[in-house]
Structure 1
Amino acid sequence: MKKIYLPLFSSFAALCPIFAEAATEYYFVPESADDLNWGLLANWRTSDDGGQTLSPAESLPGASDAVVFDQSKLADLWPDGTGMGWYMNGDIQTGAVTITGNLAGLAFSSYNLEADAASSSSLTINGDFSVILDGAGGWGSKALRSGTYNPLSVEIKGDAVFGRLNNAGQLTFSLGGNSADTALKSLKIDGDFRNSTGQIGFGSFVCERDASKIAEDKYYYYKNADVQIGGSITGNSTIFLSSAGRNNTIIKVNGLSSSAGDIRATNDIKGTAGSTATIVLANEGQAVYKGGITDLYAYQSGQIGVETSNVVVDVVMMGAQGSQQKLVLSTDQRAFRGGATVISGDLRMYTLYQNNTAEGQWGKWGDVRLVGNSDGIEAKFGAIGSSGSETDADAVAYADNLVWTSGTIVAGIISSAQASLIELSGTMQKGEGAGSEFWFEFTGNTEFLLEDGASIKLISWADGNAPTDFLESEFRAADMGGKIAKFAIESDGLYVSYVVPEPAVSAAILGLLALAFAARRKK
């Protein structure tokens, strides 16, 4: 197995003797643009000194060999970095792949085939997939995609890395093409998706759906998404969830982590009516995302979206036990209309902007759906503030409706008159199969709940929108300080106060405790 030594790290290697020995790399250097076949031996050169000298390859790159596509080595063919490409057919395995140079326009794809020769291909990268701009770049199309009648499946066993040298130039890149013919069959990234620059998009995907799979497991396609990222999406640059604006793409990721992220539905195009882009947060731990997630079409800084994309974005929390994702959404009055679904794990949201159209129309966040699951993993939802805390003074999550089937709402107690607030343009509804107990968990300055006369709003709705399918007695919260939670459905929201139980209630509670203790002694 050959060591992987990338030229981008040569300066670092020179300072560290352990990395000083360069390993063999394979450079894609075709003599002409007439045949850009990966499988053509004449298109390959090898180097043992980081690309300074190149020799004709004696074999095609193997499953552990580092591969480099460097535009600076191809200036005779593509001096301005446009029109570049390589093509493959069948099942390809390689080591780490680095694409670098002045990347202005390129296509790396499976070969176009005829209908009567339809097939499929796969690319397995046993390492990182890195796209590093070294030049002006530009807005030209750059994609890893399928060929006609030859859908490509891609698996990256390391990280997907997007960056630029010297902090210069404009990098764009799409994983998946812009049409049905160039749609990737699937994309799996075992590591992180690290986007430190430019505008990177998930393009078209085949998005095959089998109704029988959903009949067996309604979450089958959340678990087996079109795009599966084993690590986190990180970085503060722009990501397009569906840059082609077609089909119903599902992207599963182990958390979103950013201090100023920018996630959009489409690449400034309207897309196909009825299309969706779903982010499935399959978190294993805790992550914080600050920035914007939007399917509004106008992206000018500081302006409200004037139009909407045809691609609707929704977020699904389906994390492991103890997992949490915080979404602090406060960027440029952006919103997504598909709402949020919590199946498992803990989702906390802050949404700065209440009105998200030029006309000030209410209700562009979609519903919050607290679903829960049958796997024994807790499902929680709660509002946080701009600092990511449940006790921030501005802690609020806006939604159209709250559809509650199972799970717990977490409310941060800020003062004797304020809690982190879920504010609805619609109302609160029971979901299909809902039980008769709906639990709250209180955190923060909970001592305020015990003050005499304290009544704190937890969920807000407009006058006249009070729910009709909930009973006040169905809401639950843990006892505190010898007091019990009492909930009230008012015309403008749901309130909680803590009161001393009536003697009969106290006796009933003591009786239940005695029965439980007696039953335990019998065991």
Structure 2
Amino acid sequence: MKKIYLPLFSSFAALCPIFAEAATEYYFVPESADDLNWGLLANWRTSDDGGQTLSPAESLPGASDAVVFDQSKLADLWPDGTGMGWYMNGDIQTGAVTITGNLAGLAFSSYNLEADAASSSSLTINGDFSVILDGAGGWGSKALRSGTYNPLSVEIKGDAVFERLNNAGQLTFSLGGNSADTALKSLKIDGDFRNSTGQIGFGSFVCERDASKIAEDKYYYYKNADVQIGGSITGNSTIFLSSAGRNNTIIKVNGLSSSAGDIRATNDIKGTAGSTATIVLANEGQAVYKGGITDLYAYTSGQIGVETSNVVVDVVMMGAQGSQQKLVLSTDQRAFRGGATVISGDLRMYTLYQNNTAEGQWGKWGDVRLVGNSDGIEAKFGAIGSNGSETDADAVAYADNLVWTSGTIVAGIISSAQASLIELSGTMQKGEGAGSEFWFEFTGNTEFLLEDGASIKLISWADGNAPTDFLESEFRAADMGGKIAKFAIESDGLYVSYVVPEPAVSAAILGLLALAFAARRKK
């Protein structure tokens, strides 16, 4: 934005805004629909009073100039409730961008002006990207997208903001088109993704995958995702992870925060078999998400959770040291089939929905994979309840299998007979490269663990599904109150109790303590 201050009176001007010239905004106001090109100077007007008066622009918008696309200024070309479009080619930098008006359709696109000649464009927005539209038009009719032969890379250095104009209708908007021809190459948002109302989708992306980069770092595309959000996804409205239902889209975000969120794979039954949508939780701090995450779209009586979407959703926790994401998935009849992977950071989950087929069969939550990594960042997973606590009476996380390679399971102790529970429809398995020690961390009312005779189930499986590749001696937990943890693999689950060590064990412990004391004295 252009701001000019009188140099000799800057302090006085700060107290008297009348001495400061208002910020100049650029309005896209073409005289005809013949050439709706960002790069055509005749298409631009400027305003210093919020759009009340417009003057012909003397130059194209620069890297710090605010840009407005306001349908109300273009009513002759695009009356209320009609479509609107413009295009760019090459590399564009601008300040904050606002799109507003009463539109049934919108195409904000990149196009190669030379037919059949492949190229690419980029759009860098040095500020917020705000979409403030009414609810006219159907799903997918409004989009920021690429054009044929011209994939577009987009970087928003502020927030992405989505709101309804005058609270009218239901806003729909797609970041990326609905086909290979209109797929975005990449989308990076440095700030938050704020969806206060409407249905916002991540559409089609190119999803380039280089096998050599994966060979060097198997998490390369988690770190360099198709969609990268430096802030968090906030708001209680609907987000579609793959509204086009194609490719293997990866969305990296610094946390999910909502009190009643709704995240789905697609906006209807479409989608290509084998397509996936991966949420990478690259949390730097702590976040809580309450609501639903699902790839099962249709919920009709007698067909609860029948898969009508080909896109499979999975969640990956890859946070910083000390980070945590709580997913309180309290929406009935919704699940995601791809499961959850914990590489680093702390992921806690509550899943209200246990059975998600009409027959009551399990098997649609996917596996929980506790992987861990080698860079020293802890990896943790645990079940929580509907209030977000490990000691809630309903604390449970459902999964198909628990695949444990490295990391810690956190269990909240609720009573002398109950802990937060990981409930499996399958069994527990060792992951590739797993070691021989598997640690639990206990929190909550841990005094119940020390009661004589207390035996508490930590992981549940159906009779006959007991794991065969774990030994009871491989499970570990910290000593408490002079007692040691003893684990038991039973037909229906894994149990823990705390017992007084056998004399031989006690002697060994005392011996180790004596050696440690002697070593310290020598120092």
After TM superposition, is the score higher than 0.5? Answer: yes
The answer on whether the counterparts of 1:243 and 1:265 sit within 8 Å (CA) in structure 2 is yes
TM-score by length of 2: 0.95
The answer on whether the counterparts of 1:347 and 1:380 sit within 8 Å (CA) in structure 2 is yes
Aligned pair in 2 of structure 1 residues 11, 243: CA closer, same or farther (>3 Å)? farther
Show the 5 A alignment for 1:320-469.
Answer: 320-469=320-469
The answer on whether the counterparts of 1:5 and 1:22 sit within 8 Å (CA) in structure 2 is no
The answer on whether the counterparts of 2:36 and 2:85 sit within 8 Å (CA) in structure 1 is yes
SS at 1:165's partner residue? strand
Aligned pair in 2 of structure 1 residues 285, 12: CA closer, same or farther (>3 Å)? farther
Quick one: distance in 1 between partners of 2:7 and 2:260? 30
How far is 1:205 from its partner? 0.5
The answer on whether the counterparts of 1:104 and 1:140 sit within 8 Å (CA) in structure 2 is no
How far is 1:305 from its partner? 1.9
How far is 1:164 from its partner? 1.4
The answer on whether the counterparts of 2:89 and 2:113 sit within 8 Å (CA) in structure 1 is no
How far is 1:517 from its partner? 3.4
Which residue in the other structure is 1:519 paired with?
519
Pair 1:288-2:267 in alignment: no
Quick one: distance in 1 between partners of 2:306 and 2:368? 24
How far is 1:3 from its partner? 4.4
Quick one: distance in 2 between partners of 1:231 and 1:269? 30
- Bigger mean CA offset, 206-215 vs 165-174: 165-174
Cα deviation 1:346-373 (Å, max 9, x = unaligned) = 0000000110112212111000000000
The answer on whether the counterparts of 1:28 and 1:43 sit within 8 Å (CA) in structure 2 is yes
How far is 1:509 from its partner? 1.0
Cα deviation 1:182-206 (Å, max 9, x = unaligned) = 1000000000000001100000100
SS at 2:394's partner residue? coil
Consecutive unaligned residues of structure 1, counting only runs of 5 or more, are: none
TM-score by length of 1: 0.95
Cα deviation 1:291-349 (Å, max 9, x = unaligned) = 00000021569982223311000000000000000000011310000000000000000
Identity %: 99
How far is 1:513 from its partner? 2.2
How far is 1:518 from its partner? 3.3
- Bigger mean CA offset, 159-168 vs 398-407: 159-168
Aligned-residue CA RMSD (Å): 3.7
How far is 1:18 from its partner? 9.5
SS at 1:134's partner residue? strand
Aligned pair in 2 of structure 1 residues 151, 487: CA closer, same or farther (>3 Å)? same
Quick one: distance in 2 between partners of 1:21 and 1:165? 28
Aligned pair in 2 of structure 1 residues 211, 324: CA closer, same or farther (>3 Å)? same
The answer on whether the counterparts of 1:113 and 1:150 sit within 8 Å (CA) in structure 2 is no
Aligned pair in 2 of structure 1 residues 274, 432: CA closer, same or farther (>3 Å)? same
Aligned pair in 2 of structure 1 residues 350, 518: CA closer, same or farther (>3 Å)? same
How far is 1:271 from its partner? 0.2
Aligned pair in 2 of structure 1 residues 406, 9: CA closer, same or farther (>3 Å)? farther
Aligned residues, how many? Answer: 523
The answer on whether the counterparts of 1:283 and 1:319 sit within 8 Å (CA) in structure 2 is yes
The answer on whether the counterparts of 1:339 and 1:365 sit within 8 Å (CA) in structure 2 is yes
How far is 1:510 from its partner? 1.5
The answer on whether the counterparts of 2:330 and 2:351 sit within 8 Å (CA) in structure 1 is yes
Cα deviation 1:220-261 (Å, max 9, x = unaligned) = 000000000000000000000000000000000000000000
How far is 1:163 from its partner? 0.4
Pair 1:155-2:155 in alignment: yes
How far is 1:512 from its partner? 1.8
The answer on whether the counterparts of 2:66 and 2:94 sit within 8 Å (CA) in structure 1 is yes
Aligned pair in 2 of structure 1 residues 96, 455: CA closer, same or farther (>3 Å)? same
Aligned pair in 2 of structure 1 residues 12, 308: CA closer, same or farther (>3 Å)? farther
SS at 2:261's partner residue? strand
The answer on whether the counterparts of 1:10 and 1:50 sit within 8 Å (CA) in structure 2 is no
SS at 2:497's partner residue? strand
Pair 1:65-2:83 in alignment: no
Aligned pair in 2 of structure 1 residues 17, 463: CA closer, same or farther (>3 Å)? farther
Aligned pair in 2 of structure 1 residues 135, 46: CA closer, same or farther (>3 Å)? farther
Quick one: distance in 1 between partners of 2:233 and 2:19? 28
Cα deviation 1:9-46 (Å, max 9, x = unaligned) = 99999999699963100000011111100000000000
The answer on whether the counterparts of 2:193 and 2:234 sit within 8 Å (CA) in structure 1 is yes
SS at 2:169's partner residue? coil
Quick one: distance in 1 between partners of 2:158 and 2:9? 17
Aligned pair in 2 of structure 1 residues 495, 9: CA closer, same or farther (>3 Å)? farther
How far is 1:108 from its partner? 0.5
Aligned pair in 2 of structure 1 residues 268, 6: CA closer, same or farther (>3 Å)? farther
